[in-house]
Amino acid sequence: METLTSDEQIVWRALAGDADAFGEIVQRWERRIFALAFGMLGREEEARDATQETFFAAFRNLRSFRGEAKVSSWLHRIAINQCITRQRRAKVRGETALEDETSSEGTTFLAPAHQSPAQAAESQERTLLVRRAVSALPPELREVIVMKEFEELTFQEIADALDLPLSTVKSRLYTALRQLRMRLEGQGAEAA
Amino acid sequence: MNKEMRDKKMQGIPEELPEPCARAEELVAYLYREANDAEAQEFEAHTQHCESCRTELAAFAQVRGSIDEWRQQSLGFLGSPALAAEVVPALDAAAAKQARKRSALAALREFFTLSPMWMRAATVAVSVCVCALVVMIVARAEVRWDASGISFSTGVSRERVVERTRTVEVEKPVKVGYSKEEMEQMVEARVRQERESFQKRPAQEATITTGTRPRTAVARNSPQFASGDRARTPSQQTVAQRDPLSEEDLPRLYDLLGETN
């Protein structure tokens, strides 16, 4: 993983007029931002659009970046805002990520090669359950669990990105895990 | 399981979990390996005695495993070049547009830096003239130079910029066309003419005609004089009885002026 200092250097180069500098930022962070968006939105196409919008917004507001926060925190904050905005729009339209489960635009799952078809089907079933559970979380809990599990950010990085105290991040993460446990155990027992 | 709990289960409402331990934040830090060595050892010792924390650690680990499984399946198909191929060219286009603006400005700055002074002055002068012309066209300005002077108008109001001094006509004591000397000459000539004609006429009757007031001189021994027709002014005396060159017989200047009108 590249150091945060090098990310900042790239941003300063972009601010100085280097046309290729911001492209390096995109290539470095697109996978992680996409992972975050996918964890928040649950749809590949939505996550892709949100990722693009994140980098476009970052480029437009590049001059407002003062270096007080890390580049990663800055990008995550923009991505979270993009995802929350999309979720609100989807909520207004009455759409949910679960509606794409049976459609052709739904997420494509890539089963590991060593799994049998039965195991792959079981794996997809568990994945569907956890997707439902994560989607059912409140936004403030969903964003911390996605940033921790999908982005693998530290507590401090999450606190910086969301502008929250460290203890609040830990508390929300604990609450999110507790609710996920309740839902997965309940759905698992129901399925059984 | 009572009916209420069965209903909740059927509706997907999770059951209540045991009350958590007060060391939730330490549990999370230990779970995600962000606790330092001392904190980790201390919490491990705690879990030896706290069943709630021990149970939750195991349950949370399963949840994390499910999430990780979902993450592996979802992100395994992600193609980074697709995203970068879409985003980077758009950003490059935006950056190129900014660079074009900067390069045009830089080129202009370079022109003024390298060009000689006379070229800079000429460029500035031409630019000013063009701007002034544009302003005048936009303001529908109009410049006129006629006999009365130069006038400038902008389509809103008319202003006279330059005016010639007006000539004021002063009333002259004599009529136009005749000077004082000419008038005196005319008077003398008329007087001379009247004298000559007066001298040539018969002594009994001589009429001095002066414009609109003809006067007839009547002799004392004439029948008219005897009839009492004395309706005549003192000037209507016979010339023979008076000095033909007397002041009274001379036509007055006013009468002469009246004739010449």
ipTM: 0.75
First to last CA, chain B: 145
Mean pLDDT estimate for chain A:
80
Cβ proximity of B203 and B238 under 8 Å: yes
Split at pLDDT 50, 70, 90, the class of B40 is very high
> HSE (CB half, 13 Å, CA atoms) of A66?
1
Contacts of B66 in chain A (CB under 8 A): 126-127, 129-130, 184
Considering only alpha carbons, which residue of chain A is nearest residue B25? Answer: A170
Considering only alpha carbons, which residue of chain A is nearest residue B84? Answer: A27
Q: Which residue has the higher pLDDT, A63 or B216?
A: A63
Q: Which residue of B28, B80, B97 is the best one to mutate when testing the A interface, meaning the one whose CB has the most A CBs within 10 A?
A: B28
**Residue in A17, A130, A185 nearest the CB of B102:** A17
Per-residue pLDDT for A29 more than 90? no
Contacts of B68 in chain A (CB under 8 A): 149
Per-residue pLDDT for B92 more than 90? no
Q: Which residue of B66, B80, B103 is the best one to mutate when testing the A interface, meaning the one whose CB has the most A CBs within 10 A?
A: B66
Give this prediction's pTM: 0.52
Pairwise CB contact (< 8 Å): A150 & B102 = no
Q: Please compute the mean of the pLDDT values over residues A40-63 and round it to a whole number.
A: 88
Considering only alpha carbons, which residue of chain B is nearest residue A56? Answer: B91
Pairwise CB contact (< 8 Å): B13 & A186 = yes
Collapsed DSSP state (helix, strand, coil) of residue B152: strand
Flag whether residue A29 sits within 8 Å of chain B, measured between CB atoms: no
**Residue in B25, B67, B76 nearest the CB of A130:** B67
DSSP class of residue B151 equals E
Q: What percent of chain B has pLDDT over 70?
A: 50
Q: Give exposure, A25-42, as e/b (b: 16+ Cβ within 10 Å).
A: bbebbbbbbbbbbbbbbb
Strands (E), chain B: 142-146, 149-153, 158-160, 206-210, 213-217
Split at pLDDT 50, 70, 90, the class of B83 is low
Instruction: Say if strands B158-160 and B149-153 run parallel, antiparallel, or are unpaired.
Output: antiparallel
Considering only alpha carbons, which residue of chain B is nearest residue A156? Answer: B34
Pairwise CB contact (< 8 Å): B67 & A155 = no
- Whole-number pLDDT of residue A180: 94
Helix axes A71-93, A4-15, angle to 10 degrees: 80
CA angle B180/B181/B184 to nearest 5° reads: 90
Per-residue pLDDT for A178 more than 90? yes
**Cα(A7)–Cα(A132) distance, integer angstroms:** 35
Residues within 8 A of B (CB atoms), A 45-64 only: 48, 51-52, 55-56, 59
Pairwise CB contact (< 8 Å): B63 & A171 = no
Tokens at A146, concatenated: 């996605």
Element (H, E) at A162: helix A155-162
Contacts of A125 in chain B (CB under 8 A): none
**Cα(A52)–Cα(B91) distance, integer angstroms:** 10
Contacts of A38 in chain B (CB under 8 A): 74-75
Cβ proximity of A10 and A21 under 8 Å: yes
Q: Report how far apart, in Å, the C-alpha atoms of B182 and of each of B178, B189, B195, B203, B251 are.
A: 6, 11, 20, 33, 18
- Whole-number pLDDT of residue B111: 75
Å between B122 CA and nearest CA of chain A: 34
Segment among A22-26, A153-157, B74-78 with least mean pLDDT: B74-78
Residues within 8 A of B (CB atoms), A 118-147 only: 123-124, 126-127, 129-131, 134, 145
Q: How many CB pairs under 8 A join A and B?
A: 144
